[in-house]
Amino acid sequence: MNQFVFCPTCASKLLEEERGGAMRMVCPDATCGFVHWNNPIPVVGAIVEHPEGIVLVQSIGWPAHFFGLVTGFLEQIETPAEAALREIKEEIGLSGELGEFVGFYPFRRMNQIIMVYHVKVEGEVTLDREELADFRIVPIDKVRPWKAGTGYALMEWLNKRGYEPEFIELS
């Protein structure tokens, strides 16, 4: 995680002090008052259901064996549902039909809170090669979630549908 060193408001060197029950980076200039709260970044994710199964994607730079849900950042002018549909269109080239809201999932390693939706799609996947290296469509009964962020959303979604897969290890 990137850490602020200087105040983004007045450029003073930040100090670590207690604020709100935790140690935070704060500006020593009392007239400025900046506190880096380090709030989580809002991200959307989608369990993309294709007639052949669940679409999993591999971001550029990920290990060759790892595939995950379509995810992306929430833009200022969007609702989370709009962002999920936009990310699907941008990343895999498909328009989707919004299903249920699955839930909120913390992804602490990246300081994110992920809002996950179920979205149904049809058609041929066309990858955004600037973001994604590959994709797979995995039959629902063969999908195996992972113990991080969106993997927990996928597990809950599968459980609601009567599936009880085991988690895969991400090593």
Length of the chain as a residue count: 171
Q: Which ranges of 13-167 would DSSP assign to H, the alpha helix?
A: 80-92, 150-160
Judge whether residue 16 has pLDDT over 60.
yes
| Averaged pLDDT for residues 100-121 | 96
pLDDT band for 2, please (50, 70, 90 cuts): low
* Between residues 45 and 4, the one the model is more confident about: 45
Statement: residue 169 has pLDDT above 90: no
Contact 37, 20 (CB under 8 A): yes
- b/e per residue, 123-150, with b = 16+ CB within 10 A? eebeeeeebbeebeebebeebebbebbb
pLDDT in tens, 119-155: 999 999 999 999 999 999 999 999 999 999 999 999 9
**What is the average pLDDT across 154-170?**
95
When the pLDDT of each residue in the chain is averaged and rounded to a whole number, the result is 95
Q: What is the pLDDT of residue 163?
A: 97
Q: For the residues 72-81, what does the mean pLDDT come to?
A: 96
Question: What is the tens place of the pLDDT at every residue in 27-58?
Answer: 999 999 999 999 999 999 999 999 999 999 99
Q: Set out the domains of the chain in order of their start, with CATH numbers.
A: 1-38 (no CATH), 41-160 (3.90.79.10)
Would you state the pLDDT for residue 1?
40
Q: How far apart are CA 140 and CA 52, in angstroms?
A: 8
Residue 122: per-residue pLDDT: 97
The answer to whether the CB of 62 falls within 8 A of the CB of 133 is yes
